[in-house]
Structure 1
């Protein structure tokens, strides 16, 4: 792998992006997150240790890799300090960590506003981490960038302007705002730890790209949760598709050489929203328990269903996938039958692309196709030819459906459980 690669979730998140990013980071100089916050949850297994990363890029677990939190991310500074300290305790903070000077800050007010919204009748099932309210403050132009906040200090104009806006928002929403003394204590709890990591991340990334270094840009959540292209309003608050990699890092689109989509061999979703292939039976229980389908961030049981080739074909087109990594193939071991969705029945018509609205998608009925062959011992294979017939047929069916090569097959949680087909 050379040049700049973008890693994109092709479904509703939790596709295994953390593991694939970690695998690709073995050849990378820089790994950068370009959107989202600590609402993400990426699990990477190194040796016998499982690392749950929420904000720090997965590449941090590789030596000599610079990990960057780009300007498109939103930073909960207390959560970031906790994550850094956890990695240090595990002796796993291998590379340099850079936080974009112009990344926006998640204030305590944002978490309170998020939690209050999720208790109301318009709840959509967020992680309550304050991510949506932070992006709203950013777009309303009264939030604070982390570099400005550190330089200005707890009594400076940057803090004052942000607090005025946040206190107005809390009052309007009927939410009690933290006191100024509490905010000072909050600021003091993270400033000295994070200040050395804050830098002009866009300049660092541009220098790396122009210096022929290898970059991996790591997305969070999934394409079907994109603020514009996802199942609105049941989406996240940032651009999770490949276009967000440019705006969220400061790299030009022409710097991107490949876009790698990540999809599970089935589908999972956390929170509310339409899910045409959702299952609620013994197969669902199998996928949840064998696949450990519980949220890394929330601990909630994920909703699960058959692989949806209709939506996968759509996200491949929207992102311009140059290749796909198919993960969790081993989880299908033990099922009597494995199916995929090839079309939707909606309003008396058979459709091969998703409808534009979430309300329409909620009415869609999946047209299912069985995959021939067994998946027994899928987790034991070290090469594609060693995969059982069902797994090989699934990979080939995916390639046929989306017209994108499946270059990577992941058949287990460890780095070694990765089949490279290139």
Structure 2
């Protein structure tokens, strides 16, 4: 069975380490990336102490599992080269040999990144918490100029690529009224054409064939609470972070998958925006070796388990089949951790809305910025109690428990998954029943 791995929080819940475990317990034919781009930061630590922060390569790479970057990914060839170099230094013999890229995938360029940083700087104190890597600019430009937005396939034709890069640079420079701090298009074209020679570019039918060859893990990026339509606007990402993108790819191939939602025993957020259960006293008790203050995102913020927000994430994406619960070692180190069940001004349930209604999301954001925890439990240090409590709040069984950073620190738990679950998934103005 295929598995889709999605974060039910603000990101950083441990998607990478969960994917690594799924690949270690295999067999897994490939890891498919289906949203986001080079701003992803999925940390994997091996049992022999090696560490890599996965951005575009799938988090099964250190297990030798190939990666497919689907057409829904935003691909940054320069960041990809740096990541490949680090993987090679960790002992992956030929990282690019494990990678295939859909020709239709949009490219993130230095011009997108430069525009992203200028735009975020212009917001001053009202920053959105961008990663500063050009993801939103890539998506926005592709929406405004779909025929001119460079793709992975364009890298096989230097003249066509150069034309698109020059047009992109000039349009963004005109918008900001200044020259962008980025290399000339000729230099970018050299690097991008080298990328096209190094990877395997694919087209229609490739992913469908792989899906029919064996189990595949579809690895999401960011978290549902940052989703472009369901997140707390404007503190969101230009990406669909729910299961929708993965299920679109699966449906095209006539396949289905288990929906696996990932949460921590405590809720974290990088940068500004609502974080109702934030508690500054927790940060020194729960240090984050692979997460910290980012020059563009801002501070890494720690809070108690936010059952209200995570339940909203489950509802917003139409339900989950099962859960992976990470950081189960934390309650032993911090037994005062709470599981928050209600807010003072909102209650126990946040209202969902169809995609596209950003006004309602912004109004909800304003309410959440003023909300405070009103009702909570203290499950204590026992991991089993935490798993049962989280499963009860989110309405799905915890089937993977993580007590540490490596694949060996995780164990599968035999809990009953309902044989048939009906959920209404809203997509635009249409509704479909998933069972």
TM-score normalised by L of structure 2: 0.85
Look up the SS of the partner of 1:350 in the other structure.
coil
Per the alignment, residue 412 of structure 2 pairs with 420
Per the alignment, residue 364 of structure 1 pairs with 371
Deviates more, 1:87-96 or 1:302-311: 87-96
Look up the SS of the partner of 2:184 in the other structure.
helix
1:119-168 CA distance string (max 9 Å, x none): 112421111001110111111123111112x1221x33x43144324412
Root mean square deviation of aligned Cα: 2.3
* 1:9-408 mapped onto 2 (5 Å cutoff): 9-26=7-24, 27=26, 28-46=28-46, 47-63=48-64, 65-92=65-92, 96-121=98-123, 122-140=126-144, 141=146, 142-148=148-154, 150-153=155-158, 155-156=159-160, 158-177=161-180, 182-200=184-202, 203-211=205-213, 213-247=214-248, 249=249, 251-252=251-252, 255-281=255-281, 283-287=282-286, 289=287, 293-294=291-292, 301-319=299-317, 320-346=319-345, 350-353=347-350, 356=361, 357-373=364-380, 375=381, 389=382, 391-408=383-400
Q: Judging changes above 3 Å, is the alpha-carbon distance between structure 1 residues 310 and 48 closer, same or farther for their aligned structure 2 residues?
A: same
Q: Distance in 1 between matches of 2:184 and 2:74?
A: 21
Q: Distance in 1 between matches of 2:268 and 2:194?
A: 39
What are the ranges of 5 or more consecutive residues in structure 1 without an aligned counterpart?
A: 376-388
Q: Judging changes above 3 Å, is the alpha-carbon distance between structure 1 residues 112 and 298 closer, same or farther for their aligned structure 2 residues?
A: closer
Per the alignment, residue 381 of structure 1 pairs with none
Q: CA deviation at 1:202?
A: 5.1
Q: CA deviation at 1:170?
A: 2.1
Look up the SS of the partner of 2:19 in the other structure.
helix
Look up the SS of the partner of 2:12 in the other structure.
coil
1:173-210 CA distance string (max 9 Å, x none): 2341368x722112213422442424225522101223
Look up the SS of the partner of 1:135 in the other structure.
helix
Q: Distance in 1 between matches of 2:43 and 2:294?
A: 7
Look up the SS of the partner of 1:38 in the other structure.
coil
Q: Distance in 1 between matches of 2:192 and 2:332?
A: 46
Look up the SS of the partner of 2:186 in the other structure.
helix
Q: Distance in 2 between matches of 1:371 and 1:61?
A: 37
Aligned length: 394
1:354-405 CA distance string (max 9 Å, x none): 57421122122222323243x2xxxxxxxxxxxxx3x221111111111100
Look up the SS of the partner of 1:338 in the other structure.
coil
Q: Distance in 1 between matches of 2:292 and 2:112?
A: 25
Q: CA deviation at 1:326?
A: 0.5
TM-score normalised by L of structure 1: 0.87
Q: Judging changes above 3 Å, is the alpha-carbon distance between structure 1 residues 337 and 32 closer, same or farther for their aligned structure 2 residues?
A: same
